[in-house]
Structure 1
Amino acid sequence: MLDAVGPRLRALRRQRGITLAEVAAKTGISESTLSRLESGRRRANLELLLPLSSAYDVPLDDLVGAPRTGDPRIHLQPIHRYGMTFIPLTRRPGGVQAYKMLIPSSTRPAEPTPQTHSGYEWLYVLNGQLRLVLGERDMVLPPGEAAEFDTTLPHWLGSADGRAVELLILFGLHGERVHVQPRTRS
């Protein structure tokens, strides 16, 4: 496995269009050591691979070509709030968070109770009829419709017709916005 590290390092460096001198400056590893690593005349070790992994922003396992192990399935932990289910699709803290949101069916329409919080939200209706109350506006979004809004504006999400609704939501706590623009033909 370690014999293939040299060609992989050379390919990464060339792919990014950087020189041995630039990699040496980023990692603190001498150019001659880097050259010997890439040519296979020097055996890779953890002391050399860790700074290279960081410099190339590549996981160590990918750098050494480690085989994939473990269970490839994703085990998402749903969050139940306000009678709805939120399934987190991202795992990193901070930045924009992605969720699949499920609003269950109900026998009687829910009474809107608008809420506010800091952040910015973008949503896309996958299935069902979403009722979105946003400030003074009350609208219905069918599948394929999207909306984005500042969450400091009072808002409420629910089913427009009592049937279940599925949405994708991108939420940024610090006001990150999604910029979806139509394609124009040239």
Structure 2
Amino acid sequence: MDDELEQIIDGIGPRLRTLRRDRGLTLESLAATTGISLSTLSRLESGKRRPTLDLLIPLARAHRVALDQLVAAPASGDPRVHLKPLRKSHGSVLVPLTQYPGRVQVFKQVLSPREPKLVTHDGYEWLYVLAGELRLILGERECTLRPGEVAEFDTREPHWFGPADSNAVEILHLFGPRGDQVVVRASPSTTDPAPESDSASPNRTHLQTP
């Protein structure tokens, strides 16, 4: 085995330990998630056991990183994230802005027009409109967000977001694993007049989850 390959393999254990600690995980909780024994995880992190694909694949899945990110560390001393735009269906583009997704993942997205399809999943989402107009559907409620406006919501509620018209919309999109109260800084699309309040911001609407 040449020196370069040996160095790469030796670096996997410390990288696994750093990822686990950064995510606030114990060896016990990681063992329960991956099905890998506690002793094997400990030996992997200490470098006493050689990493194999059948061990690295569930660990990459548990840490929500690409397999190659477990094997190859980023360039030393370079804090820049090397962006890799991903083209999604309907012509949309997603650019991950976090190198190693942890509790909060950050994306820049350009969304093309498409038909609404409501989804639910655990977590919360935070949306900031950069350009264009964003249509946000939360259950039976609907809002239109414009540049500079923000929404955050519990993703356990049926939701969908996309362009409000025939033009693409550009947003910053943050996703985390825990739900929270919905707060929308936007004007609802309904024509019903909002009740007046001296303390309420004119462009802020609070939507409470059930």
Q: TM-score, normalised by structure 2?
A: 0.45
Q: Secondary structure at the match of 1:133?
A: strand
| Alignment partner, residue 90 of structure 1 | 98
Alignment of 1:79-118 (within 5 A): 79-83=86-90, 84-104=92-112, 106=113, 110-118=114-122
| Alignment partner, residue 172 of structure 1 | 176
In 2, the alpha carbon distance for the partners of 1:155 and 1:82 equals: 18
- Structure 1: any 5+ residue segments left out of the alignment? 1-67, 180-186
CA deviation string 1:54-107 (max 9, x = no partner): xxxxxxxxxxxxxx9898864311233343222111112321111101112x5x
- Structure 2: any 5+ residue segments left out of the alignment? 1-74, 184-210
| Alignment partner, residue 167 of structure 2 | 163
CA 1:118–1:69: 2 relative to 1, 3 Å: closer
User: How many equivalent pairs are there?
Assistant: 108
CA deviation string 1:4-53 (max 9, x = no partner): xxxxxxxxxxxxxxxxxxxxxxxxxxxxxxxxxxxxxxxxxxxxxxxxxx
Q: Secondary structure at the match of 2:175?
A: strand
Q: Secondary structure at the match of 1:131?
A: strand
Aligned-CA RMSD value: 2.8
Query: Contact 1:123 / 1:147 at 8 angstroms: preserved in 2?
Result: yes
- Tell me by how many angstroms 1:161 deviates: 1.3
In 2, the alpha carbon distance for the partners of 1:72 and 1:156 equals: 34
Match of residue 83, structure 2, among 56, 68, 76:
76
Alignment of 1:1-186 (within 5 A): 74-83=81-90, 84-104=92-112, 106=113, 110-175=114-179
Query: Contact 2:81 / 2:97 at 8 angstroms: preserved in 1?
Result: no
CA 1:149–1:70: 2 relative to 1, 3 Å: closer
* Structure ranking higher on relative contact order (CA contacts 8 Å, 6+ apart): 1
Query: Contact 2:81 / 2:99 at 8 angstroms: preserved in 1?
Result: no
CA 1:82–1:156: 2 relative to 1, 3 Å: farther
| Alignment partner, residue 10 of structure 1 | none
CA 1:137–1:90: 2 relative to 1, 3 Å: same
Q: Secondary structure at the match of 1:153?
A: coil
Query: Percent same amino acid at aligned positions?
Result: 54
CA 1:155–1:82: 2 relative to 1, 3 Å: farther
CA 1:176–1:93: 2 relative to 1, 3 Å: farther
| Alignment partner, residue 9 of structure 1 | none
AA paired with 2:157?
L
In 1, the alpha carbon distance for the partners of 2:99 and 2:76 equals: 20
